Homo-oligomer: A and B are copies of this chain.
């Protein structure tokens, strides 16, 4: 009776296949794609997929794993940059991240306040980085003091959502508009 904490070799391999196919299918059809199609493409039965990932969100969460780590690392590294640059870079990074698959932004938006979601931890981590950068930018006086990290997170996610419905270039312009404002500032 070997209580080896490690999954069986075939299980590990199957998990990888599932993740690979899920990535491909989600890229092509968005996060609402058929899970059965993913299992089929991986040459596995649907029950096997559900054995590895109990819900669609669990699958999504696992899929974002590596990518999240990279994002967090990049986010932490921004501590050395000037506040305005750091914030802008972070925003660009997260928008691209949240627009990985069509439909992902909605999951992230809900994940922020739905603690039961497997994506919640990632959302919290992202929020923390955003918070730090916002605070630093506010202290430096480069953003309006009334801007909260929570609001900015929502704006970022909204831009990611917009990116799903328009071209990346267009999404880039939208970020500019959001950051610099639509209205011309009043003369001081």
The segment from A21-29, A50-58, A115-123, A176-184 that touches chain B is: A176-184
| Contacts of A161-184 to chain B: CB distance below 8 A | 161-162, 165-166, 170, 173-174, 177-184
Partner of A154, one of B141, B166, B180, B187: B166
Q: Is the CB of B184 within 8 A of A144?
A: yes
Contacts A165-B109, A165-B110, A187-B188 hold; do A158 and B181 have CB atoms under 8 A apart? Answer: no
Partner of A184, one of B143, B166, B178, B183: B143
Q: Confirm or deny: A106 has a beta carbon within 8 angstroms of a beta carbon on chain B.
A: yes
Q: CA A180 – CA B183 in complex, angstroms?
A: 6
A178: which B residues are within 8 A, CB to CB? 155, 177-178, 181-182
Q: Confirm or deny: A147 has a beta carbon within 8 angstroms of a beta carbon on chain B.
A: yes
A151: which B residues are within 8 A, CB to CB? 170, 173-174, 177
Q: Confirm or deny: A61 has a beta carbon within 8 angstroms of a beta carbon on chain B.
A: no
Contacts A165-B106, A165-B109, A165-B110 hold; do A155 and B174 have CB atoms under 8 A apart? Answer: yes
Binding site for B on A (CB under 8 A): 84, 106, 109-110, 141-144, 147, 151-152, 154-155, 157-159, 161-162, 165-166, 170, 173-174, 177-185, 187-188
A-B contact pairs, 11 of them (CB 8 A): A109-B162, A141-B184, A143-B182, A143-B184, A154-B165, A155-B162, A155-B177, A157-B162, A177-B178, A178-B181, A179-B182
